[in-house]
Copies of this chain bind each other. A is one copy, B any other.
């Protein structure tokens, strides 16, 4: 892993007084999606994708799962949406509170710069205006071409990264820190990339502190260096379909900063007496690919012997408790349905007040066996399952099953909320 504590990234630019040094490079392509030509472990790939769809992480449909696998923005179901939110929250908190001088900013999602080169850019064109130009019979062919070109030139370009926005915010931010370096700027949001047929690539972020066999890092080869960067280091995850970069650290020098501020060095200099222009280090990550990496990394297929020496296969999504979209599922066992539901309703309310995300399994009207329920919740990554039964009405006792240990415990209804709160707080930091 990287030596200087790059734990989690989206787009964070650090402005340092001195440049960092480069080391040898290894090859890995950045923009392609190896999933299309999916060699790899076909079974593991389809098992992962199927589980993500079945358990409401990703919305169904071949096009959508392909998007998901490619790390472009896709349609997420309720569990995927919550996982993505949790991941982003963890990233944001860890970036903006890791040191005193990292500030979150929020810049424009598209820019209007009529002087910018039109080539290689997306443009947001108002089709009405363009169609009106095309419908003017009095324009000659040549005039038509000129009018369309001018319209394109005037149309805003959706951003493809956060770098430009951060460079532009350098001057007000430098004032904020009283012209003292280093400081950092962080941003998360949508970025857009033109690519064959596909649309918006949501550039986001991921947390990659997990030091496991599936994570690795490598230098970006010289011919793939971006913009003015003199060095790049990628954090890579080994998906069942091949390696994909999750985030990249760039050492960019000061050329882009100078260019953005039209070479006015005096605006860019810091207070330390040196006349040099600060160097920029940027980190960018793809949030959607981060979500996928965490899902892929936490899916475990366990084999267990039951009492009758039969082998049981069990799929569990062992997401970190902080990331798991559902912390507890509430279900009912045998007994008077109406009364048991009321108990669940009360517990649900209590959990919500404590911001413990709960799954109202008791609303299901189809009868399900306990085994089927456990399979379902394990695949959803639900941390605990609470079962309220007739016994609860009599003695206040309920059953709590843990996803990770599969152990069932009996607890009193009055202590369940604190038990869960304590568990989640204890593991609050990834």
Contacts and interface: CB of A to CB of B under 8 A. Distances in A.
B355 A93 contact: yes
Given A60-B172, A194-B126, A107 B75 contact: yes
Interface in A327-374: 345, 348, 352, 355, 357, 360, 363-366
A122 interface: yes
Contact of A108 (B60, B73, B156, B363): B73
B118 A127 contact: yes
Nearest to A177: B363
Contact of A81 (B85, B106, B190): B106
A80 B106 CA distance: 8
Nearest to A119: B128
A contact residues, range:
35 or more
A103 to B, nearest CB: 4
Contact of A84 (B60, B106, B118, B121): B106
B124 A78 contact: no
Nearest to A152: B127
A180 B144 CA distance: 56
B178 A152 contact: no
A56 B200 CA distance: 30
A380 B156 CA distance: 33
B97 A357 contact: yes
Given A73-B109, A78-B103, A105-B81, A124 B123 contact: yes
A294 interface: no
A199 B357 contact: no
B123 A125 contact: yes
A298 interface: no
Interface string A179-194: 0100000000110101
A420 interface: no
Contacts of A192: 124
Contacts of A97: 352, 355, 357
Contacts of A81: 103-106
A140 B111 CA distance: 34
Contacts of A200: 108-110, 156, 158
Nearest to A141: B141
23 contacts: A59-B169, A75-B107, A77-B103, A78-B173, A81-B106, A93-B355, A97-B355, A100-B363, A109-B190, A112-B197, A119-B127, A119-B128, A122-B126, A123-B124, A124-B124, A124-B158, A124-B199, A126-B194, A131-B149, A134-B145, A156-B199, A177-B363, A178-B364
Given A59-B105, A112-B199, 7 more contacts: A80-B106, A81-B105, A85-B104, A119-B127, A134-B148, A134-B149, A156-B199
